Structure 1
Amino acid sequence: MNTATSGPAPLAGIKVIDLSKILAGPYATMSLADLGAEVIKIEHPDGGDPTRGWGPPFVGDDATYYLAVNRGKKSVTVDLKSEEGQRLIDRMLEDADVVVENFRPGSSLQQVFDYRDLSARHPHLVVLHISAFGEEGPLRDEPGYDMVAQAAGGLMSLTGEPGGAPMKSGYAMGDLGAGLFGIIGVLSALVERSRTGRGQYVTTSLFECQLAMHVNWATNYFADGQRPQAMGSAHPNLAPYQAFPASDGHFVIAVGNDKLFAALCAAIRKPELADSDDFRRNRDRVQNRERLAAVLSEVFAGDTVDHWVTLLKAHEVPVSPIRHLDEIYDDPHTEAIGMIGTVPHHTGALRQIGFPVSYSGVRPPLRTAPPRHGEHTREVLGEFDAAVVG
């Protein structure tokens, strides 16, 4: 990956004041920074973003969790609960474009930075507020972490083996989903502002975004009224579309249509399966998924993952071994697409995952390392001649 400061910068000239912490907000603002925005991360003088301590592992003084979602920003320490700090932020907002915050609904800070007051003084501002459960309803004032969102929003009920204990997803899909939808909200509000000259109050929540990602699970339930259940690696609407055990591990196949099923049957020398009334069409395979999975599992147990992956690829059946992260990071394909780069850090070169969108074939460069606590306080606040801790 190109790590120089040159490169596509769609959001060059946009200034973001990041009042958020933990994951959803910082992930959104890091993405805006990747796209060229100037992002000023406001942290409390006493310790800053809590994720700085979410380790081990640590690199230098900061936990890798913090380092994962804060590159490209400037860290400024301000006590938001002090009148002096609030006056300072208000001055910073005069030439800012976006504010991102995740203050708990009803908290003192949300009242201080109420959008109605902000927009009266700064009508150009786009303010993104990320909460746990949204702006209305009986849960609106509840605090929330990613796991709470996964539990309340249904993801944990759909993750894991049938009849097994509920499980959270391997990624923080509650926080990351809210961060991604928050980015969409900010960018669309900036487009609208280019027409009207006025900002917007953009809101989303971990809970709302969990519901938005139910997609086919929701429409399945709306259609038949049956409570969706965890299915392991299987798919509620396709079969076979799941992991299977080979003699030395597991791999997945993704049969998305009847033609691919026929190709699978030809590859494993069981063409009669594709001609069977029980398995010919996808709707038949879904209804008889247990019997089909048993037949395929018996076949796949007879050879290795590499054997089946090579064979099925030759027959153009979508297939993959189940890989670990170390294998992915050492993979030639990962290197070829340039998703991993480095930024200079006070401890040495810091590896980072890049932004997953390219512009005219060029990926946005990794610009600067995640800042140390208060690293840019004097630089940023110097223009205000503010006697705020730094």
Structure 2
Amino acid sequence: MSAPGALHGIRVIDFGHHVAGPLAAVMLADQGADVVHVDRPGVTPPADDAFFNRGKRRISLDLKDAADLSVARDLVRRADVLIENFRPGVMDRLGLGWEELRAGNPRLVYCSMPGFAADDPRAGVPGWEGVIAAATGNCRIRAGHAPDGWDDTRPTYTAIPVASNFAAFCGAFAIVASLTARHRTGRGDRVEVPLFNAMFEAIGGSGAYPVAQGLLPERAISSNGSGTYRCADGGYVQFNPIGATPRFLTWFLDAAGVTAWTGDGLTDRARMDRDPSLRRLLHDRLTALFQTRPAGEWEELANAAGVPLAAVRTLAEWLETDHALASGQAVVVDDPELGATVMPGSAVWLSATPVPPGRPRHLPDADRAEILAELTSPPADPPRGEGEGAPVSLPYTGRRVVDLTQILAGPSAGRILVEFGADVVKINSPQRRVGAHGFVNRGKRTVLVDVKSSQGQQILWRLIDDADVLTHNFPERTAERYGLGYEHVRARRPDIVYVSVSCYGYGGPWSGRRGYETQGQAATGIMTRTGGDGRPAVLGPYNLLDYGTGAMAAFASAVGLYHRELTGEGQQVHTSLTQTGGYQQARFAVRPAPGLPDAERGRHRPAAEPCGPSALGVDPWHRFYRASDRWFFLGATRGGLPVLREVPGLKEALSGLDGADDDAVAAALETAFHTGTAREWTGRLTAAGLGAHPVTTLVELMTDTWARSRGLTVSQISEEVGEVVMPGIAIRVHGNPPRLGHPVRRPGADAREVLSRIGLADSAEALERGWAVQMTALPPGWDHF
């Protein structure tokens, strides 16, 4: 019999709807929590309900009915966690607000995920994904992926609910962190992750810059021939041999049998930087080369050579790969309505508390009798933690983390742990540029150590001996070759929480493959749904997999630390870019199981979606429009036409359009909206209770007065470049707020302090002479000119 999940014994009441609330709750259910989902009576669930409510018990309650509302309150009185994602004020009006509920249940962790925060002037605006995308600039095409002749001012719409997903990832993490703090103090807390705020986690390093330089224009990733290439079978591959050296490109050229290209300077980084014609020559040669073999052959060749390259797949193809199924990133569930159904597996994996594979959903109200019967018995006394009644401190105060991760995903997890109290030592390799250092390593102490050398290993092991958490992002088996595998580490630190982050995850045939954001998007189908005219494209402008996986890895760490808090036991936990890719597309990821007969496949009806760069929205009532000065998003529904007609300036435009086709309605609105500015129209629309927001540029967002006043954008003073601006903290915890980490110094600048802490201060110079540590001629931490 398998061990219970890490969150076994935690009761969650899930009032969530759409994506954010149910997704956060399913992440907790997958780790063993008893989640009770509250449905509205009479609602027919869509196909994606099979994923969003799997593993939960369900009861249907009309919260406007006094008897049902009394049941809801009784459920919450016995709960550990409440999750909701209504607009601010809705739960308070129902008598289910934080202030009222905590009086009867002071141990409650209450998590809200509205569109905009309660203190935001836009709190009453419906927080549709398109509205949040417009408000946060998440409607631009990725640099280098726009069609020829593209108008850069024109927005593009994605059906992937990026803001809701990030709110769920951050909310699930913050809930577990708050449960950890509650174990010591006995007191719950209120967590708030508005969708607007959550997007600052997604923006990440894209919004970080020295003030003296300003925010640089987005640049396409094109070094060493990076790009998307068409192959002999009409398929595509995403090739990304980036890095501090051209090693990946060299390995690929050798494997492809064109080593002679090196003689033309095509692997000479310095020459390529000086001579744009060489970069064009490399791209042209690669374009011709990839057309000589099918995409699958290139994928196998490149990955055998250790090169980051992925064939571009659809989401359905990804979910049916041997790797996704073997690694548990896709699971087959026997759904009570849909039958055999494949969907994303758990967001994270834990060795000591593995989740049961594929617990199917229950249908609405299926558990009503059982849940009501439980309410007739006296509530159990809450368990008391060893430190209950202790003074309030951040959940991970006193916890030490050794962070070996590189690039964006892993370091972001470490930064989030810093914000919740952890002491993090960041280790990077000497003589290497450290990307996005000023943001992803904020609050950490930084040291440059060659962990492959014997002396570097001495430094590392002394740090590990004092650590509670170790994080790395080596591909599978690479850590073992360095003597840093989980079994090696737990032999010395059996209670360590050992966090692994990778592109493809562990446990399947692709576990040893390398990859970055673009490979994760290619493999899981995001590029297919983003591209137009059959050509796939990387979804942008922000790194939804890198930073999403950072939040997922923080969640994995939090679950591991919570289990350790209760039991004293460590374990290995891991997540990956492709797991995050599946979760980012969860609305569309409920598919027929492989081999299901055609007659059964029709019951799986994923939500319709607009695709391609030219997409502006779902229909005329829910899309981007051009006003006289700029674009804005209208968030309404077909049923809201009577309300739309009453908006000043639209009554005449919409008269006589009952029963008209969508094109006619869109044309009428386009004409009307050209008569005023975006600010004027959004003011009129929101006054009528509709969703609307002007498209905001990243520069406008990062300098927005309200965002700055709430710590969503922050300024710090870097010893290297002076004042810098970057995203702040997306998560609010009201009784125990997370802290902004101190400005990180230039990479490696804390070496002497770190060495002193582990008793090697007197050996510092000798270690540097032996190339084990770098303390002089440090690399820059900010891209500046």
TM-score between both structures, scaled by the size of structure 1:
0.82
CA contact (8 A) 1:234 1:242 kept: yes
Q: Which amino acid aligns with 1:371?
A: R
- SS of the equivalent of 1:263 reads helix
2:417 counterpart (19, 32, 52):
32
Which residue of 2 is the match for residue 384 of structure 1?
759
Instruction: State the match for 1:203 in structure 2.
Output: 574
2:752 counterpart letter in structure 1: R
Letter in structure 2 aligned against 1:200: Q
Length, aligned pairs only: 359
Superposition pairs of residues 86-101 of structure 1, within 5 angstroms: 86-101=457-472
Q: How many Å apart are 1:102 and its aligned residue?
A: 0.4
Q: Secondary structure at the match of 1:184?
A: helix
Is 2:412–2:547's contact at 8 Å kept on the other side of the alignment?
yes
SS in 1 for 2:651: coil
Aligned positions of 1:273-352 closer than 5 A: 276=658, 289-346=662-719, 347-352=721-726
Alpha-carbon distance in 1 for matches of 2:533, 2:641: 24
* TM-fit CA distance, 1:218: 2.0
The SS at the match of 2:589 is helix
Q: 1:270 to 1:162 in 2, by over 3 A?
A: farther
Please tell me whether residue 74 in structure 1 is matched to residue 459 in structure 2: no
Larger Rg: 2
The match for 1:250 is: 631
Paired AA for residue 643 in structure 2? A
Partner of 1:374: 748
Shift, 1:146, TM fit? 1.0
Q: Is the 8 A contact 1:343 1:367 kept in 2?
A: no
Please say which of residues 379-388 and 23-32 is displaced more in the overlay: 379-388
Given candidates 484, 488, 494, the residue that maps to 1:123 is 494
Q: 1:239 to 1:202 in 2, by over 3 A?
A: farther
User: How does 1:119-198 map onto structure 2 within 5 Å?
Assistant: 119-159=490-530, 166-198=537-569
Q: Does 1:269 align with 2:654?
A: no
Q: How far is 1:37 from its partner?
A: 0.7
Instruction: Work out whether residues 620 and 663 of structure 2, in 8 Å CA contact, stay in contact via their aligned partners in 1.
Output: no
The one-letter amino acid of 1:374's match is: G
Q: Deviations over 1:142-169 (max 9, x none)?
A: 2111112122222222235676762421
707, 717, 728: which is aligned to 1:354? 728
Structure 1's 189 and 300: CA in aligned 2 closer, same or farther, altered over 3 A?
Answer: same
Deviation digits for residues 335-384 of structure 1, max 9, x if unmatched?
A: 33222223332133333321111222675332321222221112111233
Moved more, 261-270 or 350-359: 261-270
Note the alpha carbon deviations across 1:222-245, whole angstroms, 9 max, x for none: 823799661555556x76322112
Q: Write the deviation string for residues 22-81 of structure 1: whole angstroms up to 9, x where unpaired.
A: 10011111111122210001122223x542xxxxxxxxxxxxx22121110111222111
CA RMSD of aligned residues (A): 2.9
The alpha carbon displacement at 1:325 in A equals 1.6
1: CA distance, partners of 2:590 / 2:620? 18
Counterparts of 1:94 and 1:135, CA distance in 2: 25
CA contact (8 A) 1:233 1:243 kept: no
Aligned to 1:3: none
* Structure 1 position 115, deviation (Å): 0.6
- Greater shift, 207-216 or 84-93, is seen at 84-93
Percent of aligned positions with the same letter in both sequences? 28
CA distance in 1, matches of 2:567, 2:531: 48
In the alignment, does 2:403 pair up with 1:13? no
The gaps in structure 2 that reach 5 residues or longer are: 1-391, 593-600, 774-785
What letter corresponds to residue 396 of structure 2 in structure 1? L
- Classify 1:179/1:198 alpha carbon distance in 2 versus 1 (closer, same or farther; 3 Å): same
Match of 1:58 in 2: none
The offset of 1:270, in angstroms, is 5.7
Report the 3-state secondary structure (helix = DSSP H, G, I; strand = E; otherwise coil) of the residue aligned with 2:441.
coil
Q: Secondary structure at the match of 1:323?
A: coil
Which residue does the alignment assign to 1:44?
429
Relative distance call for 1:162 and 1:41 in structure 2 (3 A) is same
Q: Secondary structure at the match of 1:112?
A: coil
Query: How many angstroms apart in 2 are the aligned matches of 1:305 and 1:15?
Result: 49
How far apart are the structure 2 equivalents of 1:227 and 1:186?
35
Q: State the alpha-carbon separation in 1 of the partners of residues 516 and 502 from structure 2.
A: 10
